[in-house]
A and B are shown apart, each in its own frame.
Chain A
Amino acid sequence: MASTQERIRSKLRRAAHAAGEFLYGMTTYDWVRDMQRERGEIERLFVLVTFGDIIGIPILPPYYTLRLLPYVVPVINRWKRSLLRERDLTDLAGLIEGIT
């Protein structure tokens, strides 16, 4: 009996959680994404300024960049892909919501 009640409670909790996530997706998720995007852009630019020589743009003397290297190594592959990824206008389409 107790386990049945527990199961029902657990299902209700999951349903409430899903409804909350759905509401979040429709309301403030965009705000969060925009802020994450802005931070990501700044980080991408920072790595370009400090480690531009990885893609052939020598900017800072290696001494300073070497001190930053341990912090940049974990993101280097994603950074290179993100920076060099081919883009076109359809990339922006995802930013226009509710158009139709």
Chain B
Amino acid sequence: MNSIIVLIIGALAVVVGYGVYARYINRSIVQPDPSKATPAKMYMDGVDFSPASRNVLFGYQFKSIAALGPITGPIIAVQWGWLPALVWVILGTFFIGWVQDYGAMIMGVRREGDTMGALSYKLISPRARNILMIFIYFYLLLIMGAFGNAVGKVLMTNPKVPFGMIAVVLMGILAGQMTYKWKTDIILTTIVTVVLTFVGIWVSTLPFMSNIFSALLGGPDSPTLWGNITQAHVVGTLLVIAFCYLGSVLPIWSYAQPINYISFWIVSLGVLGGIVGLLIWRPGMGDFPVFTQFTTASGPLWPMLFITIACGAISGWHSLVSSSGTARQLEKETDALPVGGGAMFMEMAFAVIAFLTATVAFGGLQGYQDAGGAGAALGVFSKGLANFLGYIGVPNEFGVAYGSVFLTIMALTIMQLVVRFMRVASAELVGNAVPAMKNIHVGTIVALILTLIFVWIIPWLTIWSAFGAANQLMAGLALLLISLWLKEEGRKNSWAVIPSAFMIVTTLAALIYLAYTNFAKLATPEITTQGTIASVLVGAIAVVLILAAALLIVDGIKALLKPREERAPEAV
């Protein structure tokens, strides 16, 4: 199939999904009232609640939900063939993804800007909130492991990448100084720092620079230090850890925030260039198979495909962002659909572009596997993007380095904020019992040591599956909450109940599969010490998530059957 036909199918899904289905649900069932005061207006305090226009919030919401998920998931999932991956991206968004993002947002607006934690307490049960916290902590740990693995053990091991990453960091720090200390105009700051970043990426491809990093990484045949960990893996991962440490302990205005800003331009220009290159090239899929086999390295198509592609189809984290972040800024109830639903459909388009980098950029299945395949999904994207950029005159060597820096910085900007969050979370959860955890350095170091264990020990595809399962389970629970809220408001809720049931059943099946396969590995005679620790860790996490989900489902079903007045009392 030609790439242009795939793009047309994606565009049609947006037109019908957003223009017909989502609008019908919005108009006929939810019935938003533009004259009703939203929490952003009623409780405007300049801290949590402050109104903003829907165009601004659309950009904010899209930036908040779209990162590495919609890129990585489809590239791994094409190992089942291109059709299952494309169908799940499109139908997942069409029937489930936007329902969750929009539902969580409008529920937040109608429930006075309550967070998912507070809503779980009120709509399901008091313990539901604690269980949600467990989900979130594991989810963050798994995301650190997954992204740390992809960046530290794949992208950073290319000697042409680390200096580019360092250039982005230095330019981010410069942007912070120029904006906050020297009060330089933002346009001048942007031009200077973005241009210098591109120069840095170009310098990283020069032989003298790549030779320095090649020596640090141990050369083309990097020596193995233990298990399957090489010197390149250790150096790459430690660079990631150092970056995250600084992101967690330094003031946000001087480091994390301006680096995010610079990376936005680096990423956006890369995506735009890639799309233009794709449209000029218009390649076909060659011999890429429609369907390969039911069981691949990641497991059986059902349920594993549905947790492999999370973002880009449906992702539980979006529900937290939609309720805690965006719902408190909506000026009107009617803005929820274009902001929540619209951003999700736009993310679907982003996932389709990532899908095309795997399926059309290399001329077929062999090219995809030669580029790294499912085991090195981010490597596939950077090489595919370089092939697209080649059609607008970008040299391949620079294109690969640019694509790798683009993905590295995308992952790192998230990881530094996640470490910040984990530091705060651990201080809140265990700070009274272990006062040392309230220290920002101790909290950060503990989070980073846990990350290192996950990165060095757990294989990439396993950790991606575990991360996807935690994410999708959160999505199922968010949809359950939306269903309960709709029932409470006396509105039809089958459009949320059915997706919720599908997500919960599918994800529980995936977790059971993960637990079973990991514990079964322990019985194999050839298992290594590293493999044993990895299997025990992943199996144990899967079991904890299954138990937590079972408790939530029992409470959720009880809440669905309860009359309104018997619900949990209001939190004080």
Contact = CB atoms under 8 A, between A and B. Distances in A.
Contact of A34 (B61, B129, B252, B424): B252
Interface in A67-100: 78-79, 81-82, 85-100
A7 interface: no
A78 B53 CA distance: 21
B63 A40 contact: no
Contacts of A100: 65, 67-70, 143, 310-311, 315, 317-318, 471
Given A18-B55, A25-B61, A93-B324, 19 more contacts: A23-B59, A26-B59, A29-B60, A31-B179, A31-B257, A40-B47, A78-B44, A81-B45, A82-B45, A86-B571, A88-B118, A89-B117, A90-B323, A92-B425, A95-B325, A96-B418, A98-B65, A99-B69, A100-B70
Interface stretch (B152-160, B233-241, B372-380, B409-417): B409-417
B46 A31 contact: no
Contacts of A24: 56, 59
Nearest to B68: A100
Contact of B60 (A25, A34, A85, A90): A25
Interface in A33-88: 33-34, 36-37, 39-41, 43-44, 78-79, 81-82, 85-88
A27 interface: yes
B141 to A, nearest CB: 13
B62 interface: yes
Interface residues of A, number: 43
20 contacts: A21-B59, A25-B58, A26-B62, A28-B261, A31-B261, A37-B46, A40-B47, A86-B571, A89-B136, A89-B428, A90-B323, A91-B324, A92-B421, A92-B424, A93-B421, A97-B63, A97-B260, A98-B64, A100-B70, A100-B318
B357 interface: no
Contacts of A27: 59, 261, 264
B186 to A, nearest CB: 6
A22 B318 contact: no
B260 A78 contact: no
Interface string B126-152: 000100110010000001000000000
Interface string B292-326: 00000000000000000011000101101101111
Contacts of B260: 30, 97
Contacts, number: 170
A82 B65 contact: no
A26 to B, nearest CB: 4
A27 to B, nearest CB: 6
Interface in B513-572: 571-572
Interface string B93-137: 000000000000000000000011110000000000100110010
Given A26-B63, A29-B56, A94-B325, A44 B45 contact: yes
A33 B46 CA distance: 8
B47 A37 contact: yes
Contact of B46 (A39, A93, A96): A39
Contact of B58 (A22, A30, A82, A90): A22
Nearest to B318: A100
Given A43-B46, A88-B129, A22 B56 contact: yes
B253 interface: yes
A55 B132 CA distance: 31
B45 A78 contact: yes
B462 to A, nearest CB: 18
A27 B269 CA distance: 13
Given A26-B264, A86-B118, A89-B133, A40 B45 contact: yes
A22 B425 CA distance: 32
Given A39-B46, A79-B45, A90-B320, A26 B471 contact: no
B50 interface: yes
Contacts of B60: 25-26, 29-30
Determine which residue in A19, A90, A91 has the highest number of CB atoms from chain B within 10 A of its CB, and name it: A90
B43 interface: yes
A42 B134 CA distance: 32
A97 B68 CA distance: 12
B66 interface: yes
B489 interface: no
Contact of A81 (B43, B50, B67, B315): B43
Closest 10 CB pairs of A and B: A25-B59, A94-B325, A40-B46, A21-B55, A93-B320, A100-B69, A40-B47, A98-B67, A94-B324, A90-B117
Nearest to A84: B572
A56 to B, nearest CB: 15
